[in-house]
Amino acid sequence: MPEEQSTRDRVRALVREVLEKAAPADEPEEESAASTPASGEPHAQAGEPQSRARLVNVASGEAAPPEKEYARDESSKTIITETDVRGLPEGARLRVAEGARLTPLAADIVRERKIELVRRTPRRGSHAERIVAVGADHGGYPLKEELKTFLAELGHRVRDFGTNSTEAVDYPDFAHAVARAVSEGGADLGIIIDGAGVGSAMTANKVPGVRAAACYDAKVARNSREHNDANVLTLGSGTIDSKQMREIVRVWLSTEITEERHKRRVAKIEAVERQYRS
């Protein structure tokens, strides 16, 4: 009997050892924040101990898991800097974009404070509901009103930043408002209409994280999304009519960036932007 008891004890010890080494089946494998690719960000050396930040994927529009709300939502940004994570308490939940990268300093803070990164899966396809920020100057106002109706027909939610009449206004004010909504996560995408679409694109592109494209036909609209991952579309009320607007917007909303070579080039655009951030 002692020999039989000894055998059972060895089996129990082996089972405990296996269970301790196995990852929980009901949770995704944890990743170090430093393992999230970032330009110039070093990976941990083999054998180097490090704290780990739990990564969770959450589809856009889904409610936060009930056990804890997000401490902060930075899901509109593709690069998470130390400014974005500074001030977060230990164990906080930070919502980030699906492909967001962390700078080295941000990754250090995430590891040290055991911050949980919740990946936000972007809505895909023309039938996925999006929050679209819209804006226009006085010349683009009538077409903006048509655009709002069209977006509702497509099943999207609209945030209208004005203007609300044909009384003369300055387009940079409304382009800035739309671009800021996209940059700060208040909208998934933005569409701005002025006389030519150029001035609004220039203004919007001054806002960090915004890639605005002035498009005059469906081919350019598709390219701006597929190749450049544009998140703001600018249109010229003096260059297109209502039918062309609908075609451009439909194509723009239904196109996604998928090719790795295009994503790599967009990452270089973002790297240029970071060089000039104060």
Q: Tens digits of per-residue pLDDT, 208-265?
A: 999 999 999 999 999 999 999 999 999 999 999 999 999 999 999 999 998 999 999 9
Round the CA-based radius of gyration of the chain to a whole number and report it: 24
Look up residue 194 and give its two tokens. 């002025």
What pTM value is reported for the model? 0.59
Do the Cβ atoms of 114 and 51 come closer than 8 Å?
yes
Burial of 80 (0-12, 13-18, 19+ CB in 10 A): buried
> Which pLDDT tens digit goes with each residue over 56-113?
444 444 444 444 477 888 876 767 888 888 889 988 888 887 667 788 888 889 989 8
**Residue boundaries of the structural domains of the chain:** 26-41+49-121, 131-257
Give the Cα separation of 70 and 37 in Å (integer): 23
Q: Which of 221, 223, 230, 249 is nearest to 144 (CA)?
A: 249
DSSP 36: S
Is residue 227 part of the annotated active site? The answer reads yes
Right CATH for 131-257 from 3.90.1150.10, 3.40.30.10, 3.40.1400.10, 3.40.50.300: 3.40.1400.10
DSSP 191-236: EEEESSSHHHHHHHTTSTT--EEE-SSHHHHHHHHHTT--SEEEEE
**Between 114 and 54, residue with greater pLDDT:** 114
Q: Which of 43, 127, 138, 227 is catalytic?
A: 227
Do the Cβ atoms of 204 and 211 come closer than 8 Å?
no
> Which pLDDT tens digit goes with each residue over 175-194?
999 999 999 888 999 999 99
Please report which helix (H) or strand (E) contains residue 116, including its range: strand 116-121
